[in-house]
A and B are shown apart, each in its own frame.
Chain A
C-alpha cells in the first residue's frame, strides 16, 4: 500500500465538495457522528438525501464570511492506497491556495460542469497544475445527470479540452464522465446510466495510477538538516548527517561531494533507526556517515561526485506572489530552499503569466497577490539548484519577508546561470 496525494480544485458550484463528500461517503470513511452533525444541520439536496458537500464544510470564520480561507486536508484509504486530499478553493483570488495545495500533489482532479463545458476556471486550474509540475491530471466531467448522460456532450468537452491541453506539459490526462450527486463513476461504475463509457470509475483510476515513478530517483540530492554528535564515551567521534533523500539514491561506497564547499569523500554507512540500509532512496529520511572528517553543517547538500554539480547564485524562476503588498524589482527578501536560508534580491521581472491562457504579458513593473511572474533572482549564498521541471523536490523555494518572516512567495527554478 502506498500514498497518492491529490488536489481537488473548483468551487461549490462545480460540485467539488459533493465529489469529495461522495468519495468519502462511498468508501465508508464518514463516521456516524459526522453524518449526524450534517443531518442535524437540516440541509438536504433535492432527492432528500444528505447534502454531501457539507462534509467538507469549513471553519466558523469561513462560514461567517462566506469564503474558503484555506487548503483543507482530508484522508481516506482503500485496501490499495492511502489518499491525502488537498482541498483548495477555486476562485481566482485563491491562486495562492491552489499553488500551495498543488505543490505536494501527484495528481489533480479538475471538475468541468457538463452543462458549461471548458471554462476559464477549467483552464486556470489546469495551467496551475501544469506549472506546479503535477504529473497526472484527471478531468472529471461532472453533472452528467443534468445532460441526460449524453455521450455526445461528453465527447465534445473531451475534444475541446484536448485542444486546449496542447499548451500544457501534462504527461498524463484522463477523462471521466461522472455525477458526483448520483454517485455515477465515483466509486461504482455507470453501467446503467452511461453504458457507452468503458473506462474506470474515479476511485478505480485513483487506485491504479502509477505514482512510484513520480519520485525522481536519478538526481541524488541530500540536504543536511541536522548533524548528530552524541559526544558520549561510546560514540565519541560519531558524526551522523541527518536528512532526507529528496531525490535519487545513496549507498555505502558512493563517492560524494559536499556542496557548496566542494569537498569529496565516500559514504561509510546509510542508516535508519540504527539499522544499516543497503540503499536509501527518495523520499526516505536517513542518517549518512562519511569516511572522512569533513566540515558539514545544516544547509549543505551531499551529492554524487560523478554528477559534477555546481552551485549558483543567479537564476530565473516563476514566482507566485502570496502577499497583499506587491513585489517590485529590487526588493530584498529571505529565500528558503530545502534546509538553506539566504537573502536574495529580485532583480527584474521578465513577464507575467496569464494563468487563463498561458500568454506572456510584458512590461510588468510589479507582482500583485496571486500573480505568477518570471523573474531574475540573485542570492547572497550559493545554492545547489535544479530546474523545477527536472527535479520537483530540488527546484522549489519560498520567499519570506525580511522583517515579519511571513511566507510571501513561492518560486520554481526555470533557468540557472553558473
Chain B
C-alpha cells in the first residue's frame, strides 16, 4: 500500500485552497486584496491552484496609499499582466481629496489607517460581498481570535463579541445586505510557513525582500526607508545599510531589518535566528498602543 502522508505545507495549502473555493462558491462578488507583499503573493499562487485552468472568480484589488515601495507596485502590475487577471487599483490620495480628510501629521504619520476609508469605498463602488486577505493569526493577538470567514457590518467593523462560531471545515458566509465578509485562507500559516511555501513553489518576490543597500532613517531603533514621504526631523540621521524587508506595506510604517540574505534560504535562516516577531520588528503602527490592531480592526481595517 502506498504511504498516504501529507506534509504540513500540503495540508496548509489544501486548507487554503478549500477556503478560496468556498469564497468562490458562496459569494456573488468576491475580490482578492492584493498588496504586493509576500502574503498576498502567496494567495495568488493558491488561487492559481484552486481555479486553473479557469480564470480567477475575482479581481485583484489594491488599495494604494501612494507611499508604497515602487518595487512592489512594479511587481503587482507585472504579475497581473502575466496572469491575465483583472487588477483594480484605488488610491488613498483620491479619497483624501474627495472627502477632504486630514492627513496624519508628525513623527508617526502614516496613511495606513486611511486605507480603511478607501477600502470601504471600493467595497461599496463594486459591491464586493467578500474580500480575501492574507492576514495570519500568528501576527497579532487580535488576529489570533478572528474567524477565517469574518463578518463585517457596513462600516467594515469587526465585533469580537458577535463572531460566529466556526466549526470543522464549514464556513458560514451568509450575510444580510450591507454586510460583507473578510476571508483569510492563510489564517493558520506562520511567517515561516509562508517563506517555506514560497521556497517550495519557487515564487519570485519583489527584490526588496532580499538584502540590498538602502538609505535609512534610524527611528526608535528601527530602520525606516528614506523617502520623500517620511516625516523628517532636523536631527534625523540617514545611514546606508544592507537591509531587507520582512513585511512590505506602506513605506511610512514599514521598517527594514539589517540582513545579508540574498536568497530565500538566507531569509529562512535569518527568521529562524530572529528574536523579534515579524510585526514587532517591522511595524510602527502596532507599537503606538497595546491594542492598536484590535482597535483598527473594529474600525474596519483588515
**Interface residues in chain A, defined as those with a beta carbon under 8 Å from any beta carbon in chain B:** 1-3, 31-34, 37, 57-62, 69-75, 77, 81-82, 84, 96-97, 99-100, 103-104, 212, 215, 217, 225-226, 228-230, 232, 234-235, 238, 240, 242-244, 246, 249, 272-274, 278-279, 281, 283-285, 298, 322, 334, 336-339, 341, 392-393, 396-398, 400, 403-407, 410
The yes or no answer to B160 lying at the interface (CB within 8 A) is yes
Instruction: Across the interface, name the chain A residue whose C-beta is closest to B192.
Output: A77
**Interface residues in chain B, defined as those with a beta carbon under 8 Å from any beta carbon in chain A:** 2, 4-8, 10-15, 17-18, 21-22, 24-25, 48-55, 57, 137-138, 141-142, 144-145, 160-161, 163-170, 172, 174-176, 187-188, 190, 192-193, 274-277, 280-281, 290-291, 294-295
Contact B53 A59 (CB under 8 A): no
Contact A229 B54 (CB under 8 A): yes
CA distance A216 to B15 in the complex (A): 16
Tell me which residues across on chain B come within 8 A of A338, comparing CB atoms: 169-170
Given contacts A59-B160, A242-B21, is CB(A2)–CB(B6) below 8 Å?
yes
Instruction: Across the interface, name the chain A residue whose C-beta is closest to B189.
Output: A75
In the complex, 15 of the A-B residue pairs with CB atoms within 8 angstroms, ordered by the A residue number, are A2-B5, A31-B275, A32-B275, A33-B277, A59-B291, A70-B145, A75-B188, A75-B190, A229-B54, A235-B53, A283-B14, A285-B13, A398-B170, A403-B176, A407-B167
| Residue in contact with B164 in the complex, picked from A31, A73, A77, A406, CB distance below 8 Å | A406
Instruction: Across the interface, name the chain A residue whose C-beta is closest to B162.
Output: A406
CA distance A200 to B7 in the complex (A): 24
Contact A283 B145 (CB under 8 A): no
Please indicate which of the listed interface residues B48, B144, B294, B295 has the most CB atoms of chain A within 10 Å of its own CB. Answer: B144
Contact A34 B172 (CB under 8 A): no
Given contacts A34-B280, A228-B54, A407-B164, is CB(A60)–CB(B294) below 8 Å?
yes
Please indicate which of the listed interface residues B51, B145, B295 has the most CB atoms of chain A within 10 Å of its own CB. Answer: B145
CA distance A398 to B17 in the complex (A): 21
Contact A336 B172 (CB under 8 A): yes
Nearest-Cβ distance from residue B123 to partner chain A, whole angstroms:
19
Please indicate which of the listed interface residues B14, B15, B24 has the most CB atoms of chain A within 10 Å of its own CB. Answer: B14
Nearest-Cβ distance from residue B226 to partner chain A, whole angstroms:
24
Nearest-Cβ distance from residue B179 to partner chain A, whole angstroms:
9
Given contacts A73-B188, A285-B21, A334-B174, is CB(A82)–CB(B280) below 8 Å?
no
Contact B169 A246 (CB under 8 A): yes
CA distance A404 to B275 in the complex (A): 45
Nearest-Cβ distance from residue B174 to partner chain A, whole angstroms:
4
| Residue in contact with B142 in the complex, picked from A59, A100, A322, A337, CB distance below 8 Å | A59
CA distance A334 to B172 in the complex (A): 11
Contact B167 A61 (CB under 8 A): no
Tell me which residues across on chain A come within 8 A of B280, comparing CB atoms: 31-34
Tell me which residues across on chain A come within 8 A of B166, comparing CB atoms: 100, 407
Tell me which residues across on chain B come within 8 A of A73, comparing CB atoms: 137, 144-145, 187-188
Contact A58 B53 (CB under 8 A): no
Contact A238 B53 (CB under 8 A): yes
Given contacts A75-B138, A405-B176, is CB(A228)–CB(B4) below 8 Å?
no
| Residue in contact with B11 in the complex, picked from A2, A34, A74, A217, CB distance below 8 Å | A2
Tell me which residues across on chain A come within 8 A of B7, comparing CB atoms: 1-2
Contact B160 A398 (CB under 8 A): no
Nearest-Cβ distance from residue A307 to partner chain B, whole angstroms:
19
Contact A104 B277 (CB under 8 A): no
CA distance A141 to B295 in the complex (A): 38
| Residue in contact with A230 in the complex, picked from B10, B24, B53, B144, CB distance below 8 Å | B53
Tell me which residues across on chain A come within 8 A of B10, comparing CB atoms: 284
Tell me which residues across on chain B come within 8 A of A336, comparing CB atoms: 170, 172
Tell me which residues across on chain A come within 8 A of B144, comparing CB atoms: 72-74
CA distance A120 to B188 in the complex (A): 32
Contact A285 B275 (CB under 8 A): no
Instruction: Across the interface, name the chain A residue whose C-beta is closest to B3.
Output: A212
Given contacts A3-B8, A70-B145, is CB(A99)–CB(B169) below 8 Å?
no
| Residue in contact with B290 in the complex, picked from A37, A243, A285, A406, CB distance below 8 Å | A37
Contact B160 A70 (CB under 8 A): yes
Contact A400 B174 (CB under 8 A): yes
| Residue in contact with A82 in the complex, picked from B50, B165, B193, CB distance below 8 Å | B193
Tell me which residues across on chain B come within 8 A of A57, comparing CB atoms: 141
Tell me which residues across on chain B come within 8 A of A103, comparing CB atoms: 167-168
Nearest-Cβ distance from residue B153 to partner chain A, whole angstroms:
12
Tell me which residues across on chain A come within 8 A of B55, comparing CB atoms: 230
Contact B170 A397 (CB under 8 A): yes
Contact B291 A60 (CB under 8 A): yes
Contact B172 A410 (CB under 8 A): no
Instruction: Across the interface, name the chain A residue whose C-beta is closest to B52.
Output: A274
Please indicate which of the listed interface residues A96, A281, A398, A407 has the most CB atoms of chain B within 10 Å of its own CB. Answer: A407
Contact B163 A283 (CB under 8 A): no
Tell me which residues across on chain A come within 8 A of B160, comparing CB atoms: 59, 61-62, 69-70
Tell me which residues across on chain A come within 8 A of B176, comparing CB atoms: 403-405
Contact A298 B14 (CB under 8 A): no
Contact A69 B145 (CB under 8 A): yes
